Structure 1
Amino acid sequence: MNTKTEAKEYRMDPLKWLLVLGLIAVGVVGNSHFSAEPLLYRVLGLLVVAAVAILIALQTEKGAGLWRLLRESMVEVRKVVWPSRQETNQTTLIVIAVVIVMSIILWLLDTFFGWIASLIIG
Protein backbone atom coordinates (compact mmCIF):
# COMPACT_ATOMS: atom_id res chain seq x y z
CA MET A 1 0.00 0.00 0.00
CA ASN A 2 1.50 3.27 -1.08
CA THR A 3 0.02 6.31 0.60
CA LYS A 4 1.24 9.64 -0.50
CA THR A 5 0.57 12.67 1.58
CA GLU A 6 0.43 15.69 -0.58
CA ALA A 7 1.98 18.72 1.02
CA LYS A 8 -0.35 21.66 0.85
CA GLU A 9 1.08 24.41 -1.26
CA TYR A 10 0.92 27.85 0.29
CA ARG A 11 0.93 30.55 -2.34
CA MET A 12 1.25 34.26 -1.90
CA ASP A 13 2.07 34.08 1.82
CA PRO A 14 3.77 37.49 1.90
CA LEU A 15 0.71 39.06 0.27
CA LYS A 16 -1.56 37.39 2.83
CA TRP A 17 0.58 38.70 5.70
CA LEU A 18 0.46 42.19 4.20
CA LEU A 19 -3.32 41.88 4.04
CA VAL A 20 -3.41 40.81 7.69
CA LEU A 21 -1.25 43.79 8.69
CA GLY A 22 -3.48 46.04 6.60
CA LEU A 23 -6.58 44.74 8.36
CA ILE A 24 -4.97 45.36 11.74
CA ALA A 25 -4.09 48.90 10.65
CA VAL A 26 -7.65 49.46 9.39
CA GLY A 27 -8.97 48.26 12.75
CA VAL A 28 -6.72 50.61 14.72
CA VAL A 29 -7.37 53.62 12.50
CA GLY A 30 -11.08 52.84 12.26
CA ASN A 31 -11.38 52.55 16.02
CA SER A 32 -9.73 55.93 16.40
CA HIS A 33 -11.74 57.51 13.59
CA PHE A 34 -15.07 56.30 14.93
CA SER A 35 -14.30 57.20 18.54
CA ALA A 36 -17.59 59.11 18.79
CA GLU A 37 -19.57 55.93 18.07
CA PRO A 38 -20.76 53.72 20.95
CA LEU A 39 -18.14 51.36 22.35
CA LEU A 40 -20.25 48.28 21.56
CA TYR A 41 -20.23 49.01 17.82
CA ARG A 42 -16.50 49.65 17.79
CA VAL A 43 -15.78 46.43 19.69
CA LEU A 44 -18.01 44.42 17.36
CA GLY A 45 -16.27 45.97 14.35
CA LEU A 46 -12.85 45.15 15.79
CA LEU A 47 -13.93 41.57 16.49
CA VAL A 48 -15.08 41.13 12.89
CA VAL A 49 -11.85 42.62 11.52
CA ALA A 50 -9.78 40.44 13.89
CA ALA A 51 -11.72 37.30 12.87
CA VAL A 52 -11.12 38.00 9.18
CA ALA A 53 -7.43 38.70 9.84
CA ILE A 54 -7.08 35.43 11.79
CA LEU A 55 -8.82 33.45 9.05
CA ILE A 56 -6.47 34.92 6.46
CA ALA A 57 -3.42 34.28 8.67
CA LEU A 58 -4.46 30.64 9.12
CA GLN A 59 -4.28 30.20 5.34
CA THR A 60 -0.51 30.82 5.42
CA GLU A 61 2.17 28.24 6.10
CA LYS A 62 3.06 29.67 9.50
CA GLY A 63 -0.58 30.09 10.45
CA ALA A 64 -1.33 26.47 9.55
CA GLY A 65 1.72 25.40 11.55
CA LEU A 66 0.51 27.36 14.57
CA TRP A 67 -2.96 25.81 14.28
CA ARG A 68 -1.41 22.33 14.04
CA LEU A 69 0.73 23.07 17.12
CA LEU A 70 -2.33 24.18 19.08
CA ARG A 71 -4.26 21.03 18.13
CA GLU A 72 -1.34 18.76 19.04
CA SER A 73 -0.80 20.56 22.35
CA MET A 74 -4.45 20.02 23.26
CA VAL A 75 -3.94 16.29 22.63
CA GLU A 76 -0.92 16.36 24.93
CA VAL A 77 -2.84 18.26 27.64
CA ARG A 78 -5.43 15.48 27.65
CA LYS A 79 -2.64 12.97 28.35
CA VAL A 80 -1.46 14.79 31.48
CA VAL A 81 -2.27 13.12 34.78
CA TRP A 82 -3.44 15.98 36.95
CA PRO A 83 -3.02 15.74 40.74
CA SER A 84 -6.05 15.15 42.89
CA ARG A 85 -7.40 17.83 45.20
CA GLN A 86 -5.84 16.12 48.21
CA GLU A 87 -2.41 15.93 46.55
CA THR A 88 -2.65 19.60 45.57
CA ASN A 89 -3.57 20.63 49.12
CA GLN A 90 -0.77 18.54 50.65
CA THR A 91 1.82 19.92 48.24
CA THR A 92 0.65 23.48 48.92
CA LEU A 93 0.91 22.96 52.67
CA ILE A 94 4.41 21.50 52.30
CA VAL A 95 5.52 24.51 50.24
CA ILE A 96 4.06 26.93 52.78
CA ALA A 97 5.78 25.08 55.64
CA VAL A 98 9.15 25.12 53.86
CA VAL A 99 8.80 28.83 53.11
CA ILE A 100 8.03 29.59 56.77
CA VAL A 101 10.95 27.48 58.03
CA MET A 102 13.37 29.03 55.54
CA SER A 103 12.20 32.54 56.40
CA ILE A 104 12.79 31.87 60.11
CA ILE A 105 16.26 30.47 59.36
CA LEU A 106 17.14 33.49 57.20
CA TRP A 107 15.79 35.87 59.86
CA LEU A 108 17.93 34.18 62.51
CA LEU A 109 21.01 34.32 60.27
CA ASP A 110 20.37 38.00 59.53
CA THR A 111 19.98 38.76 63.22
CA PHE A 112 23.14 36.81 64.08
CA PHE A 113 25.26 38.50 61.39
CA GLY A 114 23.81 41.89 62.36
CA TRP A 115 24.82 41.25 65.96
CA ILE A 116 28.33 40.19 64.83
CA ALA A 117 28.61 43.36 62.69
CA SER A 118 27.49 45.57 65.57
CA LEU A 119 30.16 43.98 67.81
CA ILE A 120 32.87 44.64 65.20
CA ILE A 121 31.75 48.17 64.35
CA GLY A 122 31.05 49.09 67.91
Structure 2
Amino acid sequence: MVTTNTQVETVSTGADKAKLVAAAVLVAAGIVVFYLLAKQDLWVRVLALLAVLAAAVATFFTSEPGRQLIAFGRDSVRETKKVVWPARKEAMQMTGYVFAFVVVMALFLFLTDKTLEWVLYDLVLGWKR
Protein backbone atom coordinates (compact mmCIF):
# COMPACT_ATOMS: atom_id res chain seq x y z
CA MET A 1 0.00 0.00 0.00
CA VAL A 2 1.41 3.33 -1.08
CA THR A 3 0.75 6.30 1.14
CA THR A 4 1.43 9.78 0.02
CA ASN A 5 1.90 12.47 2.55
CA THR A 6 0.68 15.65 0.89
CA GLN A 7 1.01 18.70 3.02
CA VAL A 8 -0.06 22.15 2.09
CA GLU A 9 2.27 24.66 3.60
CA THR A 10 1.16 28.22 4.01
CA VAL A 11 3.81 30.72 4.86
CA SER A 12 2.51 33.56 6.95
CA THR A 13 5.09 35.83 8.45
CA GLY A 14 4.61 38.12 11.37
CA ALA A 15 4.99 41.10 9.03
CA ASP A 16 2.08 39.90 6.92
CA LYS A 17 -0.08 39.44 10.01
CA ALA A 18 0.89 42.93 11.16
CA LYS A 19 -0.05 44.36 7.75
CA LEU A 20 -3.45 42.67 7.89
CA VAL A 21 -4.05 43.98 11.40
CA ALA A 22 -2.96 47.45 10.28
CA ALA A 23 -5.37 47.30 7.34
CA ALA A 24 -8.22 46.34 9.67
CA VAL A 25 -7.29 49.12 12.10
CA LEU A 26 -7.22 51.61 9.21
CA VAL A 27 -10.71 50.56 8.12
CA ALA A 28 -11.99 51.06 11.68
CA ALA A 29 -10.12 54.37 11.89
CA GLY A 30 -11.73 55.52 8.66
CA ILE A 31 -15.18 54.90 10.07
CA VAL A 32 -14.26 56.68 13.31
CA VAL A 33 -12.85 59.65 11.39
CA PHE A 34 -16.02 59.85 9.31
CA TYR A 35 -18.13 60.21 12.45
CA LEU A 36 -15.66 62.46 14.28
CA LEU A 37 -15.92 64.95 11.43
CA ALA A 38 -19.70 65.15 11.83
CA LYS A 39 -19.66 68.94 11.92
CA GLN A 40 -17.76 69.19 8.64
CA ASP A 41 -19.30 69.18 5.19
CA LEU A 42 -20.24 65.78 3.82
CA TRP A 43 -17.66 65.94 1.03
CA VAL A 44 -14.87 66.47 3.59
CA ARG A 45 -16.06 63.48 5.61
CA VAL A 46 -16.31 61.26 2.54
CA LEU A 47 -12.92 62.40 1.28
CA ALA A 48 -11.31 61.60 4.66
CA LEU A 49 -13.02 58.19 4.73
CA LEU A 50 -11.87 57.38 1.20
CA ALA A 51 -8.29 58.46 1.96
CA VAL A 52 -8.06 56.21 5.01
CA LEU A 53 -9.73 53.32 3.16
CA ALA A 54 -7.25 53.75 0.29
CA ALA A 55 -4.43 53.47 2.82
CA ALA A 56 -6.04 50.30 4.21
CA VAL A 57 -6.34 48.77 0.72
CA ALA A 58 -2.74 49.69 -0.08
CA THR A 59 -1.59 48.10 3.16
CA PHE A 60 -3.58 44.95 2.41
CA PHE A 61 -2.14 44.61 -1.09
CA THR A 62 1.42 44.77 0.24
CA SER A 63 0.81 41.65 2.36
CA GLU A 64 1.12 38.09 1.05
CA PRO A 65 -2.67 37.49 0.95
CA GLY A 66 -3.01 40.72 -1.04
CA ARG A 67 -0.35 39.61 -3.52
CA GLN A 68 -2.09 36.24 -3.82
CA LEU A 69 -5.37 38.01 -4.54
CA ILE A 70 -3.72 40.06 -7.28
CA ALA A 71 -2.15 36.90 -8.76
CA PHE A 72 -5.54 35.17 -8.68
CA GLY A 73 -7.11 38.10 -10.51
CA ARG A 74 -4.40 38.03 -13.18
CA ASP A 75 -4.82 34.27 -13.61
CA SER A 76 -8.58 34.69 -13.90
CA VAL A 77 -8.20 37.31 -16.63
CA ARG A 78 -5.69 35.10 -18.46
CA GLU A 79 -8.09 32.12 -18.33
CA THR A 80 -11.03 34.27 -19.45
CA LYS A 81 -9.07 35.31 -22.53
CA LYS A 82 -8.67 31.62 -23.44
CA VAL A 83 -12.44 31.05 -23.58
CA VAL A 84 -13.89 30.64 -27.05
CA TRP A 85 -17.03 32.75 -26.98
CA PRO A 86 -19.93 31.92 -29.32
CA ALA A 87 -20.64 34.13 -32.28
CA ARG A 88 -23.62 36.47 -32.09
CA LYS A 89 -25.72 34.21 -34.33
CA GLU A 90 -25.03 31.17 -32.15
CA ALA A 91 -25.78 33.10 -28.96
CA MET A 92 -29.09 34.36 -30.38
CA GLN A 93 -30.05 30.83 -31.51
CA MET A 94 -29.30 29.35 -28.10
CA THR A 95 -31.23 32.15 -26.39
CA GLY A 96 -34.18 31.42 -28.67
CA TYR A 97 -34.00 27.70 -27.83
CA VAL A 98 -34.00 28.49 -24.13
CA PHE A 99 -37.01 30.80 -24.43
CA ALA A 100 -38.90 28.22 -26.51
CA PHE A 101 -38.12 25.51 -23.96
CA VAL A 102 -39.32 27.73 -21.11
CA VAL A 103 -42.60 28.43 -22.92
CA VAL A 104 -43.15 24.72 -23.67
CA MET A 105 -42.40 23.76 -20.06
CA ALA A 106 -44.71 26.49 -18.73
CA LEU A 107 -47.54 25.22 -20.92
CA PHE A 108 -46.84 21.62 -19.91
CA LEU A 109 -46.83 22.45 -16.21
CA PHE A 110 -49.97 24.58 -16.54
CA LEU A 111 -51.84 21.81 -18.35
CA THR A 112 -50.60 19.18 -15.88
CA ASP A 113 -51.70 21.33 -12.95
CA LYS A 114 -55.16 21.99 -14.40
CA THR A 115 -55.61 18.32 -15.31
CA LEU A 116 -54.68 17.15 -11.82
CA GLU A 117 -56.93 19.82 -10.33
CA TRP A 118 -59.84 18.65 -12.48
CA VAL A 119 -59.21 14.96 -11.68
CA LEU A 120 -58.84 15.46 -7.94
CA TYR A 121 -61.46 18.11 -7.23
CA ASP A 122 -64.17 17.33 -9.79
CA LEU A 123 -63.92 13.56 -10.35
CA VAL A 124 -62.46 12.14 -7.13
CA LEU A 125 -63.77 14.52 -4.47
CA GLY A 126 -66.82 15.72 -6.36
CA TRP A 127 -66.33 19.36 -5.49
CA LYS A 128 -67.98 21.64 -7.99
CA ARG A 129 -66.83 25.22 -8.16
TM-score range, shorter chain: 0.7 to 0.9
The CA deviation at 1:10 is: 5.0
Aligned length: 114
Residue 87 to residue 39, structure 1, CA distance change in 2 (3 Å): farther
1:87 equivalent in structure 2: 90
User: TM-score under structure 2 normalisation?
Assistant: 0.79
CA contact (8 A) 1:10 1:60 kept: no
Query: What amino acid does structure 2 have at the position aligned with 1:26?
Result: A
Residue 28 of structure 1 deviates from its aligned partner by 1.1
Corresponding residue for residue 6 of structure 1: none
Aligned to 1:21, which of 21, 24, 46?
Answer: 24
Q: How does 1:1-122 map to 2 (within 5 A)?
A: 11-118=14-121, 119-122=123-126
Rounded to whole Å, the distance in 1 between the matches of 2:51 and 2:90 is 44
How many Å apart are 1:11 and its aligned residue?
4.8
Instruction: Return the offset for 1:14.
Output: 1.6
- Give the letter for the 2:57 counterpart: I
Gap runs ≥5 in structure 1: 1-8
- Report the Cα distance in structure 1 between the residues aligned to 2:117 and 2:18, rounded to whole angstroms: 66
Which fold has the larger relative contact order, with Cα–Cα distance below 8 Å and residues 6 or more apart in sequence? 1
Aligned AA (1:41): V
**Structure 1, 56-65 or 35-44: larger mean CA deviation:** 35-44
Give the deviation of 1:39 after TM superposition.
Answer: 2.8
**Residues 28-60 of structure 1: CA deviation (Å, up to 9, x unaligned):** 111122234333222222222222111111121
Amino acid at match of 1:106: L
